[in-house]
Structures are given as C-alpha cells and as structure tokens.
Amino acid sequence: MAKVFFMCKYAILKKRENEVHPVRIRIVGAGALGLLFASKIAATAAIVDLITHTQEQSDLLTAKGILAVSSQEEIVYSVDAFSMHTITGAAELLEPVDWLFLMVKQKDITAALLQQLLLLVTPTTRIVCFQNGIGHMELLKQHFSNDRLYAAITTEGALKLSAASFRHSGHGTTWIGRLENMSSDSVEWDEAEIILQTMLIEAGFNVFLSKKIISNIWNKLLINAVINPLTAILQIKNGALLESLYIKDLMSVLFEEGCLVARAANITIADNLWEQLIHVCEKTAENQSSMLKDILEGRTTEIDWINGALIQYANQYKLALPTHQAFYKMIKHLESR
Ligand SMILES: NC(=O)C1=CN([C@@H]2O[C@H](COP(=O)(O)OP(=O)(O)OC[C@H]3O[C@@H](n4cnc5c(N)ncnc54)[C@H](OP(=O)(O)O)[C@@H]3O)[C@@H](O)[C@H]2O)C=CC1
Ligand SMILES: CC(C)(CO)C(=O)C(=O)O
C-alpha cells in the first residue's frame, strides 16, 4: 500500500520565521496543472492560495488538502482555497499576492473571468498565463498592461484524478517570460523574477526565464497542432503516432503547414523542432494527449486556440492550410456528438 504523508502548514510556517517576505502566489484554476503547482509550492516557504470554480471544491480542498498520487506514495498538502463566486463578493478579504498563475483552460478565459481577475490582484501583482495554444494573451492585454503580463510554457504533465487529487504524469521543463519585447542581449531579470524562479526550482520544477517566450509559445503550438488532433481522431496514445509511416506522413504535412504560418508571422522556429516533436511523442509515449482526453470525456477541446488559431493566422496571410482545416473540422464534429 502507498505511504501517505501530510505536509501541514505548521511545518511550512516554522520554515518561514526567518524570511523577510515570502513570495505570495495565487493560482486561479484548481485543475490538473493548478493542483500540481499549488501542492509543490505549498511545500516551500512561499504562500499559496487556490481559487476554484466551485464552492464544493474549495470546501473539500480546505478540509482535506490536495492529495498527490504516485506509484510510490501519496502525499497530502494543506492549502488555502476559495471559490471564485465567494471571493468576488468579498475580494478585500484576500491577501495581496506578488504573482497570479492563470491555470484555467483557454475556453474558460471569458469576459466574466477577466473581470473577476481584476478583483484578485493589486496593481503590482504580475500575471503568468500557462495555457497551451495562442489567443489568450491578446485577451489579457485588454485588461492588464504588458509590463505585468507573463506567459509560461510547460512540458510538465498532470492528470486530475478527482476534485482534490492529481497524478504528476511527467516531469518537464517550464519557461516563463515577460510579454513585453526583450532584446536578447539587454535583459536584466528583476529581483521578483529571480525570486519566483528560485522558489519554483525549490518546489521541484525545472524552470527557465525566457527572453523569447512568444517563440516558445509558437514552437509548442506547432508541436500540439500535430500531436493533439491526430491522437484525438485516431484515438491512440502519443507514442503510437510513430508506429505507422502513413501517420508520420500526416504529421509531417501538419508540421510543414504550421511552419508556413509561423514563418509568415515572423516567429523563430527552432532548427530541430521536428526532432523535438518526435522526442515529445517518445517521451510521452504512454500518455493520452489532452485533446484525446477531452474528446473521450465529452468536453470541448482547445482546438480553436491550436489548429483553429493557425488557420486564422493563415487566412490573414492568405496561406492555404488544407490539412489543418480538415483536422479542425473532424475535431469539431467529434466535439459536437
Ligand atoms: N495538464 C497538463 O499537464 C498541462 C496543461 N497545460 C495547459 O494548462 C491549462 C489548464 O490545463 P488543465 O489543468 O489540464 O485543465 P483542467 O480542466 O484540469 O483545469 C482547469 C481548471 O480551471 C477551473 N476553472 C474554469 N473556469 C474557472 C473560473 N471561472 N474560476 C476558477 N476556476 C475555473 C476548472 O474548474 P471546473 O472543472 O470546476 O470548471 C478546472 O478545475 C490548459 O490551457 C492546458 O492546455 C499545459 C501544459 C500541461
Ligand atoms: C505535448 C502534449 C501533446 C503531451 O501530451 C500536450 O501538451 C498535450 O497533450 O496537450
């Protein structure tokens, strides 16, 4: 039987005694990624709270903590959790935070959520968006200035098992970067950014600060735009994509069409991006992609922000993306069943 450990606030508070100002993090979205980051951060000297969608989930998390499940052990992390609906009526009761991590899906970034976010931050809170795909940062920019907006790209893998438990399905790397333009030689990371990176490394994440986050976002987008729709339509795990020459041909066509758009948008594509794509399939061979999971569980997918977004850019540049168009329509059909 797996061993169960309890990480309680008492131990964490004791650890904080000598600290001048522990970094404060607020995580919006207590799904797979939110539970992973909240639990690992809760085990450091940082202070973290979680904003859930429902009252039921915040009550459960407050009472029982987050259960991190692995094949060797189960660990319970105690966290503060509040539901979005309760706190928007009494946001002044929340502690101010240094960083807000936005960990909802693309479809959840609605006008209402953006209004609610305004209540969860102070003018100095910086916001980091972890979504796969593109389109979300444009929405965020309508409400927050560029100098406090960050994007993150992560290859961590997390699976939500229940409202208060998750499995860390794959260790990866996370790149965090300011949205405002940074020329590669003139960058000095400020103290808050270094503190955040140090804390996340202490929490067990492999984290880099990136001067080219837009290019990181697009490079991951080009990978997701191949793996996600193919695995979702064929209903196979990521590794199985590499087992057929026919599928590899399709991967290559999707990849080349995606690169066409990225080049038109002036994005730097990594020289070895195709090799990276193959490596992702190998490294996550046993995983179901997020799009396959969404389809199997009857949820809408992030296709509109992945292949759909590429198609929109292509229209703007008058480029044809017939294969992405076809896959987009097939996923939309599967979503509508
Ligand atoms: N999981 C992973 O391994 C990775 C995920 N990502 C990206 O991270 C993002 C999140 O993914 P993931 O964690 O898997 O998704 P999940 O669906 O597991 O989590 C999203 C969470 O956001 C909550 N939510 C939705 N709307 C609101 C709201 N208005 N207020 C508060 N909470 C809300 C949902 O609550 P409810 O379900 O109750 O509606 C849900 O708990 C996605 O864009 C994904 O592409 C990137 C890399 C890896
Ligand atoms: C990289 C990949 C394809 C891993 O499954 C992913 O990000 C996803 O499933 O959305």
Q: Are 328 and 303 in contact (CB under 8 A)?
A: yes
Q: Which one, of 312, 310, 294, 311, lies nearest residue 302 by Cα?
A: 294
Ligand nearest to the CA of 81: 1
Going from the Cα of 103 to the center of ligand 1, the distance in angstroms, rounded, reads 5
Query: What is the value of ipTM here, to two decimals?
Result: 0.98
**How many DSSP H helices and E strands does the chain contain?**
13, 13
Is the confidence at residue 7, as pLDDT, over 50? no
User: Which residue minimizes the CA distance to atom 30 of ligand 1?
Assistant: 53
**Digit-coded pLDDT (tens) for 37-59:** 999 999 999 999 999 999 999 99
Q: In what order do the strands lie in the sheet with 24-28?
A: 80-83, 47-52, 24-28, 99-102, 126-129, 149-154, 173-178, 206-209
Q: In this predicted structure, what is the pLDDT of residue 88?
A: 76
Domain with CATH 3.40.50.720 in the chain: 3-211
Higher pLDDT among residues 94 and 162, named by residue: 162
Going from the Cα of 109 to the center of ligand 1, the distance in angstroms, rounded, reads 10
Mean pLDDT across 191-207: 97
Q: Which of 15-29, 94-108, 129-143 has the weakest average pLDDT? A: 15-29
Q: Are 223 and 280 in contact (CB under 8 A)?
A: yes
Q: In this predicted structure, what is the pLDDT of residue 18?
A: 47
| pLDDT band for position 232 (cuts 50, 70, 90) | very high
Mean pLDDT across 21-39: 97
Q: In this predicted structure, what is the pLDDT of residue 183?
A: 59
Q: In this predicted structure, what is the pLDDT of residue 152?
A: 98
Cβ of 134 below 6 Å from ligand 2: no
- Residue from 36, 50, 61, 104 whose mutation best tests the ligand 1 pocket (most atoms within 8 A of CB): 104
CATH superfamily membership of 3-211: NAD(P)-binding Rossmann-like Domain (3.40.50.720)
**Digit-coded pLDDT (tens) for 247-265:** 999 999 999 999 999 999 9
241 SS3 class: helix
Locate all alpha helices (DSSP H) within the chain, ordered by sequence. 9-16, 32-42, 55-64, 84-89, 111-120, 136-141, 191-202, 213-234, 245-264, 273-283, 290-296, 307-316, 322-336
Is the confidence at residue 311, as pLDDT, over 50? yes
- Angle, CA of 123, 124 and 128, to the nearest 5°: 105
Ligand nearest to the CA of 276: 2
Is the confidence at residue 9, as pLDDT, over 60? no
Domain with CATH 1.10.1040.10 in the chain: 216-336
CATH class of 216-336: mainly alpha
User: Which residue minimizes the CA distance to atom 10 of ligand 2?
Assistant: 290
Higher pLDDT among residues 323 and 91, named by residue: 323
Ligand nearest to the CA of 305: 1
Going from the Cα of 278 to the center of ligand 2, the distance in angstroms, rounded, reads 12
> Could you give the percent of the chain with pLDDT greater than 70?
92
Q: In this predicted structure, what is the pLDDT of residue 186?
A: 62
